[in-house]
Chain A
Amino acid sequence: MIKDFTKGLWKENPIFVQVLGMCPTLAVTTKALFGLSMGLATTFVVVSSSVVISLIRKMVPAQVRIPMFTVIIATFVTAADYFLKANFYQISKALGPYVPLIVVNCIILGRAEAYASKNNVAKSFLDALGMGIGFTCALIILGSVRELLGGGSVFGYQIMWPGFTKWVIMILPAGAFLTLGLLVGLFNVINGKFEKQKQQAR
């Protein structure tokens, strides 16, 4: 059971391992706060749609499952979009069209098709929660690195010394690719070390 939850955090991390959902990953991580908000919105959508899909999985005819999943996902995305607009207007404005675009985030349909439509509610909930949190953490890391180098702060708190030359490229699209590439590389190096230790232990 617990593995259903933890696999999304590290072993099957949606960004660093599965490399899914790249559109929001690259586009909104100019600031750590935007990464966090995007991550939370996505987590909400993936958890609620997984639970609903798992609940109705036995009633869904196989031929129309994809349209049904899409309608369910779109409903939750629209709800999340309106909720942000109503309560966190500034964040919603900063995220712009990327909140409605959660609909096409392949992590969500991926979890629905690969997991929630085949497993019970509790397992699907944990699976989706793990994926959502793994996604959120990855976005926060990306956003923090880019905000730190590109703006000298993290979550709006000044960290670099005064007079620090901002690396503007880090908050431009190119910076997203550079940061993501380096982080995926780092992730693989750490994983490789773990594997070696495991093998030596045997």
Chain B
Amino acid sequence: MLTALTAVAVLSGISLVGVYNYATPRIEVNVKAETRKAIANIFPDGADIKPVEGDEEMFSVKDKAGNLLGYAIIAEGNGYQGTIKMIAGVTADLKTMEGMEVLESQETPGLGAEIANKPFAGQFGGLQITHEIEYVKNQKPSQPYQVEAITGATISSRSVVNILNDSISKARKALEGK
């Protein structure tokens, strides 16, 4: 009885080691590729993407000629139903956003999950960040630092705005400290 159970467990363990060794490097490649792809969407001219020294949450993006285009910040925080993970692209002078891409979210399909789609996410391109980002409901934004929340998904919209504000201010402190 005990030997049978042990034998099954040992065999299962050994085969899983094989699977793990096969899959782990591929999974890492996938995760990295996804981040890179999101950054490339925000900075179409970006050619040289490197992590900022001493900060794993931030990447500097340079074009082919080596000019600094801006920074891509990994922004993570609580949404309506779990963690939302995004990439926020900001210009080198930290005054405007280049764009936003959602990497991971568990928001409600059809409602909160719309934060990843263009009608909402597209609003962040060119948004002013010298002022805190704000959201407005059921009306067109009147200020250059405002976005329109998704109808029926105010909490998800607010979470995105709060997470971005937090991450951008953290990034600003980190960059200005240098």
Chain A residues at the B interface, C-beta cutoff of 8 Å? 30, 56, 59-61, 63-64, 67-68, 71-72, 74-75, 78-79, 82-83, 85-87, 89, 93, 96, 150-151, 166, 168, 171-172
Closest B residue to A94 by CB, please name it. B109
Closest B residue to A61 by CB, please name it. B1
CB distance from A30 to the nearest CB of B (A): 5
10 contacting pairs across A/B (C-beta < 8 A): A30-B109, A68-B4, A71-B8, A79-B19, A82-B19, A83-B23, A85-B27, A86-B23, A166-B110, A172-B110
Q: Which residues 64-80 in B have Cβ within 8 Å of A in the complex?
A: none
Contact present for A78 and B4 (CB under 8 Å): no
Contact present for A61 and B4 (CB under 8 Å): yes
- Encode B109-128 as 1/0 by CB contact (under 8 A) with A: 11100000000000000000
Contact present for A67 and B19 (CB under 8 Å): no
Closest A residue to B15 by CB, please name it. A75
Whether a CB of chain A sits under 8 angstroms from the CB of B30 is yes
CB distance from B9 to the nearest CB of A (A): 6
Identify A60's interface contact among B4, B9, B34, CB under 8 A.
B4
Contact present for B26 and A86 (CB under 8 Å): yes
Our count of residue pairs bridging A and B at CB distance below 8 angstroms stands at 63
Identify B22's interface contact among A60, A64, A86, A151, CB under 8 A.
A86
Whether a CB of chain A sits under 8 angstroms from the CB of B16 is yes
Contact present for B30 and A86 (CB under 8 Å): yes
Write out the residue numbers on chain B whose beta carbons fall within 8 Å of the beta carbon of A166.
110
Whether a CB of chain A sits under 8 angstroms from the CB of B12 is yes
Contact present for A89 and B19 (CB under 8 Å): no
CB distance from B120 to the nearest CB of A (A): 15
Contact present for B5 and A78 (CB under 8 Å): no
Contact present for A64 and B4 (CB under 8 Å): yes
Whether a CB of chain A sits under 8 angstroms from the CB of B104 is yes
Closest 9 pairs (CB-CB, A-B): A82-B23, A86-B26, A89-B30, A75-B12, A86-B23, A168-B110, A61-B1, A79-B19, A171-B109
Whether a CB of chain A sits under 8 angstroms from the CB of B106 is yes
Closest B residue to A96 by CB, please name it. B106
CB distance from A132 to the nearest CB of B (A): 20
Write out the residue numbers on chain A whose beta carbons fall within 8 Å of the beta carbon of B27.
82, 85-86, 89
Separation of A129 and B124 alpha carbons in the complex (Å): 49
Contact present for B109 and A172 (CB under 8 Å): yes
Write out the residue numbers on chain A whose beta carbons fall within 8 Å of the beta carbon of B23.
82-83, 85-86
Write out the residue numbers on chain B whose beta carbons fall within 8 Å of the beta carbon of A72.
8, 12
- Further 19 A-B residue pairs, CB within 8 A, beyond A71-B9, A85-B23, A166-B110: A61-B1, A64-B1, A64-B5, A71-B8, A71-B12, A72-B12, A75-B15, A75-B16, A78-B16, A78-B19, A79-B15, A82-B19, A82-B24, A83-B23, A85-B27, A89-B27, A168-B110, A171-B110, A172-B110
Q: Which residues 1-37 in B have Cβ within 8 Å of A in the complex?
A: 1, 4-5, 8-9, 12, 15-16, 19-20, 22-24, 26-27, 30-31, 34
Identify B1's interface contact among A63, A83, A93, CB under 8 A.
A63
Write out the residue numbers on chain A whose beta carbons fall within 8 Å of the beta carbon of B106.
96
Contact present for B4 and A59 (CB under 8 Å): yes
Contact present for A150 and B12 (CB under 8 Å): no
Whether a CB of chain A sits under 8 angstroms from the CB of B108 is yes
Closest A residue to B152 by CB, please name it. A168
Separation of A67 and B9 alpha carbons in the complex (Å): 10
Identify B34's interface contact among A75, A89, A168, CB under 8 A.
A89
